[in-house]
Amino acid sequence: MAAPPAEPLAVDYDTVHVAAADHRDALIDELVHRGSRVVATQDDLVFSADRPGPAAWAANTWLAPALYRVESIGAAAHCLKAIQRNWHAHPVGHHRRARLIAERLPTIRFRPLTFPSAPPSAPLGAWTLLSHDRLLASRHTTSAFADGAPAFVEDREGPPNRAYLKLWEALTLAGIQPGPGERCLDLGAAPGGWSWVLAALGARVLAVDRAALAPAVAANARIETRTGDAFSVRGADVGHIDWVCSDLIAYPERLLELARYWCDALPDANIILTVKCQGPVDADLIARFLAIPGARLRHLHANKHELTFFRLRDGGPSEAAGRM
């Protein structure tokens, strides 16, 4: 083990967020709205103080940022190795120097996950060079994946579209999945990527959409289809449900009502719901989703201009934003 690094320099922030792609402004609004002080930004990094913890629009959050003065590439690599083994570089400039530092660190192989499997359990730190002699390193981050981006061994045969990757990612972060003996309600199910995921896990699925599922998905014996308006489905109409999943496209306000309804109607169910955003993101809306007891929100790597809402029986996923 290398000698301990030099003392970190004083900084006026306690958290550094890596903004989800194209969502830095939404992240800043979210942080300000929740009472964090945004101290600085650099590229896709947002430095904040006062309200540490994950943010919905962050791909990853560095929970213990420490700034070191490093005179050389070797000194930077030594500093990182003295803290811990596993690091991911997130360069925001000084790319060549950062690459030379990274080359001196142990190689980490980020193998694509075969779903379902657990995220890596080894802690993964993150670092960057803020200037040629300023190394910012955080041994603790919210995500086990480099920049919060899991990669999966994809299935190009079974699912009818790529939406299944969103549910794979959500269930991987959730750390639990539906299985045999459980029943799922899939709202806005067509053409059937999410229903395909749920059925492949052994669960039975009630798939509701105005549109038809892809024939191969509709033919799955574990999937029952119902054609019609998914917003008018009520708990009394569907029998016992363990999981409610929704990938409905609708105005966020309507999706908020939907989340409130199902969280209230089925207090013991796990709920995963895509929050499609339209135009500039309303930070107050995020707060209203998070006001639902047990709610968590996160921008998944597979998400576009949308967040994923979780209300899980066991509380997770820890990398998602929760009520502050």
Ligand X SMILES: C[S@@+](CC[C@H](N)C(=O)[O-])C[C@H]1O[C@@H](n2cnc3c(N)ncnc32)[C@H](O)[C@@H]1O
Summarize as ranges the residues that interact with ligand X (CB under 6 A): 161, 163-164, 188-194, 209-211, 229-231, 247-250
CB proximity list for 226: less than 8 A, separation 6 or greater? 206, 207, 208, 233
8-state DSSP, 36 = -
Between 80 and 170, name the residue whose CB sits nearer to ligand X.
Answer: 170
Least CB distance to ligand X at residue 273 (A) = 11
Instruction: Name which of 61, 22, 54, 64 is nearest 147 in CA terms.
Output: 61
Closer CB to ligand X, residue 126 or residue 223? 223
CB of residue 209 to ligand X, shortest distance in Å: 4
Residue 253 CB, shortest distance to ligand X, in Å, is 14
Give the nearest distance from C-beta 295 to ligand X in angstroms: 20
| Distance from the first to the final alpha carbon of the chain | 38
CB of 148 to ligand X, least distance (A): 22
Q: Report the side by side order of strands in the sheet with 37-42.
A: 37-42, 45-49, 15-19, 58-62
| Helix 283-290 / helix 252-265 crossing angle, nearest 10 deg | 10
Cis peptide before 317 (omega within 30 of 0): yes
Closer residue to ligand X, CB minimum distance, 96 or 156:
156
Q: Would you give the DSSP letter of residue 85? A: S
Give me the residue whose beta carbon is nearest to ligand X.
193
Query: Where does residue 286 fall: left (phi above 0), alpha (psi -120 to 50 degrees), or beta otherwise?
Result: alpha
Q: How many residues does the chain have?
A: 324
Strand pairing class (183-187; 204-209): parallel
Q: Which is nearer to ligand X, 53 or 191 (CB)?
A: 191
Instruction: Check: CB of residue 37 under 8 Å from CB of residue 104.
Output: no
Cβ neighbours, 10 Å, residue 181: 9
**Minimum CB distance to ligand X, residue 217 (Å):** 8
Closest CB to ligand X among residues 17, 183? 183
Which residue's CB is nearer to ligand X, number 147 or number 306?
A: 306
CB of 175 to ligand X, least distance (A): 21
**Closer CB to ligand X, 101 or 218, in the complex:** 218
